[in-house]
Amino acid sequence: MAPKEKLFKGYIELELQLGNIDRVRTIYEKQLESFPANCRAWTSFAELEQSLGELDRARAIFELGIAQPLLDMPEVLWKAYIDFEIAEGENDKARELYARLLERTTHVKVFISAAQFESSVGEADKARALYKRADSALQASESKEERVLLLDSWLAMEEGLGDVGNPGDVRAKQPKQIKKKRPITNDEGQTTGWEEYFDYIFPDEAKPQALKILEMAQKWKKQKTADD
């Protein structure tokens, strides 16, 4: 009659204090019927089952949650599911979840998290493969700040591997930071001033940039000759 988030939360806390687990489950089910996009509710429900040792129930709840067409904070639910599998020592299941998530998104933080997971379980080659895959994707999308973030994480991993790491290969990919200026415009499109900002030039961009400058110089020389 009154499906409100605070009411569900308070009712669940009350029944938990009384130890009525079956009632708590019923209330969670009613809450998720009313608010299927609520990732916190899905996570809390699954964590309850985990605390009771009902791992299959918890896993089923997580699966139902990530299958919802609309979620308010999907990253929270996916992270909770992956953390659940890691906590239970199910590294293969956690790896599978990362693979499924990377089919849905190529966000740099997901790649970094997946690579750090592989590194933490001693799979440096798998972590390196993820970093390389992410670097190629970001290079194609020209997301410079995200690529810098990725390379910094990759370098930290390689340095942490000691003798078996390859930090030199990652350092060779690091960009140069340069300062540039860009115009500040008002709502009418008029330039009202200039602001400084930092840009990044990656080694794999240097050659195309040099060729572009050379091409412009040749055009200028040709134009000047024609004018003379």
Distance CA 226, CA 198 (A): 38
At 105, the pLDDT band (50, 70, 90 cuts) reads very high
User: Which residue, among 8, 54, 4, has the nearest Cα to 28 in the 3D structure?
Assistant: 8
Contact partners, residue 20, CB within 8 Å, separation at least 6: none
User: Which residue, among 142, 138, 117, has the nearest Cα to 127 in the 3D structure?
Assistant: 117
Angle at 119 between CA 169 and CA 143, to 5 degrees: 55
Contact partners, residue 204, CB within 8 Å, separation at least 6: 139, 173
Is the pLDDT at 212 greater than 70? The verdict is: no
User: Which residue, among 93, 103, 136, 99, has the nearest Cα to 114 in the 3D structure?
Assistant: 99
- What tens digit of pLDDT does each residue of 52-61 get? 999 999 999 9
Is the pLDDT at 83 greater than 90? The verdict is: yes
For domain 1-105, is the CATH number 3.40.50.720? no
Under 8 Å between Cβ of 185 and 192: yes
Q: Sort 97 into a burial class: Cβ within 10 Å, 0-12 / 13-18 / 19+.
A: buried
Q: What pLDDT score was predicted for residue 198?
A: 85
Q: What 3-state DSSP class applies to 35?
A: coil
- What tens digit of pLDDT does each residue of 132-182 get? 999 999 988 878 999 999 999 999 999 999 999 999 999 999 999 888 888
Q: What is the pTM of this model?
A: 0.83
Distance CA 75, CA 147 (A): 20
Percent of all residues in the chain with a pLDDT value above 90, rounded to a whole number: 73
